[in-house]
Structure 1
């Protein structure tokens, strides 16, 4: 579980040593306090390090992204009202036009925004944001950290930045795929970082608390509770990398919904550009707004609050409207106006309302916010009624709603993980790892991993079928989903990572087999020529390990010692004239001289 342990009070500011900037960069690029100035716009009031180590254009975009794009929610009109919100954004950091999948090519911002309404202030209020800028997409860490840092900055002022920076700089290096306890004063952040995308997706489906992708802490259920029947279509759209516009009343709601969409296809990493919170000030907006008529919208997931996007980006094929005008209010559990226990019942009024909603289109949101999905895509995956029937109605209590949301998220995540895993199952043979057959020599090169050809794959899949799990949940056009997945942007990056992971694992297993082989038993059944070939093969792998051992890797040093013993054992059974010819090579002679001075445990 992710959470804050002990009392979240950093405390002891005077006793904390100055932050180590280089150590801090392992986790955070910069901490900033940004103020909205009526005359100058967004102003970086204070940062650590100061100035922020960012190009001016990137800092400017990050500053614009740290504030609501519009007054899109309605706050109570008391004499003085505070409204705090947490949200996130993501910006390309590399200037390359090529799509990148590396963390360092994107800048993530985690924002604690405070709006204070007061009629005594100019224009009736003020805004200020505390922002964590980082190249790491670890929402599990930075959301918790922001819950400490945000209020602390408003209580202590600018000194809170260097204080928290000192604690973060003292953290150990990030360890992906493992639980970590990160101290911050008297508190500690207990988190479980998502694994590397290159890792094999061997996840424990019975334990959804173990992360298997980015943003596994996002609130999928609360984000899409009003359009929950569309989740399966959205899963397909994310799978094939189609463009989606997510619109919500607040930055918190839209960034949470986009994060939930990215996590929906876990363990597949989302290779489509996604922006949890996108504003009209982003340079990318001008390009998207000027697309010629008839040109396909590029694959991107945009989370927005400004209704202007509905007009300017009206050629985007899928629009998802989520969230509530009153984000703190509790709701019953409607699904386009239906409670879960009524999903199986036909209602003429509901049917006509859905037809009316579709006819009105997304522009109807200009007059009234409603939760709905408009899409030109026709999916093949049917909503799973068994899953829907297990979801719990939260009722009207905020405390009960929060606990029920946790339960419902667990149900949904487990289901979509299982759905994605079964969808990817036909690709399994292309990642199959072969190990040496018992009794054969591990000193030959491992067989190549099965080559992939999309045409052959689809033909074979059409013959075999999608498997029982998917067959029960998909319509007859299921093969088209695979075809579009192969053509989309998510497939090849995922496939190449999984292929590389399989090849690395196969090399590791064969290397281990070479080290552990019973060399005496292996050479006992060999002819003289085979033994000579074996000697050359052992020597070849030994030289490779020697190159690796130069970096000081302990495993390579141990492997070298064992392979030298193997080399000496094979040398000992060769004819004298062959031995003399082999040691005429000085480099080889030095390898054998080392072995001769070492007691062979196999002899």
Structure 2
């Protein structure tokens, strides 16, 4: 990505590109910008919020408390450097109503708000009904959610989340009170586009501290010219002299919730082949798995299972940046399966959901969630979590600098040891438990889960052998990351393969009339599926990498929160694809050829199917602003409908005319 030290010197109000006509494109990307200062007497203070009123009072509090480090790891390590910058991101639930008349901010921000209107869009996602007692039993269980409400299962949609990408600067100066100050610049969005907003805030943060509010104005000006997000494609987004080149993840990889309409959502989420490596398979595909988990490589397969079945997981790291990258890396580990559990890359004690979690007892069932924290206080407060992951190097200011000074040979020896010790019997400090981190941070995994898959020694050996052949450590990390991503993508794809027959669109066979309409997809029943799978086995790829407990992993996956939303999405895509294939077959076929071979019941069914097809095409044309009456499809469909109608007995024809809508179609 190209970088520039500054924006072109232009005023927002005098630039012809900053008019109201171009500005609405901003709302498709952002909720707004914020700058927050830590005041010694008042605490966190929101200095600017652009546009004014974009956040409710509750959201301003949530954003303010999530925008600063929650531990002293950065402070202790940064005092010798004068200035220390940290980039991280958080996720919090949207709540309250946006302020229509918010507290006055700086005039330079409020002045520009009228030209950049922001709106919020919502969508209630649909949920697929599956005939399975196992799933029904699980969905009826209630648990305490992060927001303190009862949860009947995740992935229902409707709940909005706010993603905040933070550039935090800590400046140490003996002349200042308490020897320093800190301030954060935020990019806020409802879209988890890590590949866009992380580089954006990395650019915008230094520019703000150099140029002040003008940097936010210029950023808003240039972003108002951006096209709408095109999911699943490469986009080049201009920000002054800078080009942010990012491949947006496909729409179906986004967490369930707000977004496009259901029809638009399903039409845009045609499955992408995992073998197509140019298309990202996760919203966090840019996270370096090897760089984040290089000290825990032997446990990646256990972590993959925990994420797959949606188990509650507490992730603790010394710094917010390490913490949020670890959570993002874990979510990307199960790609192309979207993560439907509630995840918080950076969670603090000030989060409104902390009180409800802190009040949980051992009898309460912790809902599926991934919490990333930096404060060791959580180890005591949330000791009911069954799985705890400690990741990251303590006291590391810059991962690349520290990695460059470390010797490769020492790390290689650690990797070799990890290859030989892959299972929970050798988890670090097993008897002492996670509370040992109160004294000293070290990378480890504590879990009650019995893994069904075995660590792939061949993959780990390839990582070990690759490093000495490269001179630049960053290049080694990229190569190893690519190898890990390919392996876990293949692992997840093979795990999901047995569900293929239930998600596969069918085409009309030769001699079968397409005018009867497509048959329904095969019904899915969890118990029947497990019985059939037990008989034929998990497949060659998984058989080599799993033990005798592999069927239980499928059972846990079916009962977990990730299955239903994924199955519903893929099912909707398959149904839509099947309808498209049958419509295409109808457009190419002569209905009169099939009418001669049909029974009276089949003729009626064909009439109803073509009638539905006509109604759907008229609705789609109306939404698209197309005159359907002037298209070739209109002539073909109406001609087929009239041909079938003429083939019906007279008494049925008279009955058909009693329906006003049907009579209208017949006279088109």
Aligned to 1:144: 199
1:429 aligned onto 2:501: yes
Contact 1:226-1:334 at 8 Å conserved across structures: no
1:167 and 1:463, CA in 2 relative to 1: closer, same or farther beyond 3 A? same
Counterpart Cα distance in 1 of 2:217 and 2:663: 60
1:463 aligned onto 2:535: yes
Report the Cα offset of residue 578 of structure 1: 9.7
1:467 and 1:352, CA in 2 relative to 1: closer, same or farther beyond 3 A? closer
Contact 1:333-1:393 at 8 Å conserved across structures: no
Secondary structure in 2 aligned to 1:28? coil
1:343 and 1:237, CA in 2 relative to 1: closer, same or farther beyond 3 A? closer
Aligned to 2:255: none
Contact 1:394-1:405 at 8 Å conserved across structures: no
Report the Cα offset of residue 192 of structure 1: 1.2
How far does the alpha carbon of each residue in 1:195-226 deviate from its partner, in whole angstroms, 9 at most, with x for none? 12256674344443421121111121111111
Aligned to 1:89: 90
* TM-score normalised by structure 1 residue count: 0.88
Aligned to 2:179: 124
1:526 and 1:576, CA in 2 relative to 1: closer, same or farther beyond 3 A? same
Counterpart Cα distance in 2 of 1:246 and 1:217: 19
Contact 2:308-2:557 at 8 Å conserved across structures: yes
Report the Cα offset of residue 143 of structure 1: 0.8
Secondary structure in 2 aligned to 1:339? helix
Counterpart Cα distance in 2 of 1:576 and 1:522: 20
Aligned to 1:561: 635
Contact 2:4-2:241 at 8 Å conserved across structures: yes
Aligned to 2:449: 377
Counterpart Cα distance in 1 of 2:553 and 2:658: 63
1:11 aligned onto 2:8: yes
Aligned to 1:389: 461
1:36 aligned onto 2:38: yes
Aligned to 2:522: 450
Aligned to 2:111: none
Question: How is 1:519-598 mapped onto 2 (pairs within 5 angstroms)?
Answer: 519-523=591-595, 534=606, 537-539=609-611, 541-552=613-624, 554=626, 558=631, 559-568=633-642
Aligned to 2:316: 247
Corresponding residue to 1:50 among 49, 52, 57: 52
Counterpart Cα distance in 2 of 1:538 and 1:147: 55
Contact 2:231-2:249 at 8 Å conserved across structures: yes
How many pairs are equivalent?
586
Aligned to 2:280: 211
Which structure has more relative contact order (CA 8 Å, sep 6+)? It is: 2
How far does the alpha carbon of each residue in 1:405-444 deviate from its partner, in whole angstroms, 9 at most, with x for none? 1111111111111111111111111112122122322121
Report the Cα offset of residue 541 of structure 1: 3.4
Secondary structure in 1 aligned to 2:73? coil
Larger Rg: 1
1:339 aligned onto 2:336: no
How far does the alpha carbon of each residue in 1:358-392 deviate from its partner, in whole angstroms, 9 at most, with x for none? 12221111111111111111111111111111215
* TM-score normalised by structure 2 residue count: 0.80
Contact 1:215-1:263 at 8 Å conserved across structures: yes
Contact 1:321-1:371 at 8 Å conserved across structures: yes
1:314 and 1:564, CA in 2 relative to 1: closer, same or farther beyond 3 A? same
Aligned to 1:236: 305
Residue segments in structure 1 that go unaligned for 5+ positions in a row? 595-603
Contact 2:93-2:159 at 8 Å conserved across structures: no
Question: How is 1:85-234 mapped onto 2 (pairs within 5 angstroms)?
Answer: 85-93=86-94, 97=149, 98=151, 99-100=154-155, 102=157, 105-197=160-252, 202-234=271-303
Larger mean Cα displacement after TM superposition, 581-590 or 107-116:
581-590
Residue segments in structure 2 that go unaligned for 5+ positions in a row? 97-146, 253-265
Aligned to 1:68: 69
Report the Cα offset of residue 186 of structure 1: 2.2
Report the Cα offset of residue 135 of structure 1: 0.4
Report the Cα offset of residue 41 of structure 1: 0.8
Report the Cα offset of residue 339 of structure 1: 3.2
Q: CA RMSD in A?
A: 3.3
Contact 1:61-1:281 at 8 Å conserved across structures: yes
Counterpart Cα distance in 2 of 1:561 and 1:165: 48
Secondary structure in 2 aligned to 1:113? strand
